[in-house]
Amino acid sequence: MAEMKKITAFVPADILEYAQAYTGEGVSETLRVALRELAHKRACEELLALRGKVKLDLDLAELREDREFDDRGNVL
């Protein structure tokens, strides 16, 4: 696990209770989940910002050579 940092934060009690009810976890784990989700959201936004800016030279047929697919196109 990454380095941990102890914090003191003032958060609205009703929002915290709502979030804890959703996660089913305590305060610390609920805050960890929320921070991971926020970091994930930012990473997704950064990837979307790259749309159309990254040139990929891939051969799909070559990539699929070592895989087997069912009749719906799903990897077996």
Judged against a pLDDT cut of 70, whether residue 43 lies above it is answered with yes
Q: Give this prediction's pTM.
A: 0.68
Chain centroid, CA 4 distance in Å: 20
Residue 71 amino acid letter: D
| Tokens matching residue 22 | 């959703």
| In the chain, % of residues over pLDDT 70 | 99
Domain that holds residue 25: 13-64
Count how many domains the chain has.
1
Alpha-carbon torsion (20, 3, 41, 63), positive or negative: negative
Q: Is residue 46 part of a domain?
A: yes
pLDDT computed for residue 35 by the predictor: 97
Judged against a pLDDT cut of 80, whether residue 67 lies above it is answered with no
Q: Is residue 8 part of a domain?
A: no
| Tokens matching residue 14 | 């009703």
SS3 content of the chain, % helix, strand, coil (to 5): 50, 5, 45
Judged against a pLDDT cut of 80, whether residue 66 lies above it is answered with no
Judged against a pLDDT cut of 80, whether residue 64 lies above it is answered with no
Q: Is residue 75 part of a domain?
A: no
Q: Is residue 23 part of a domain?
A: yes
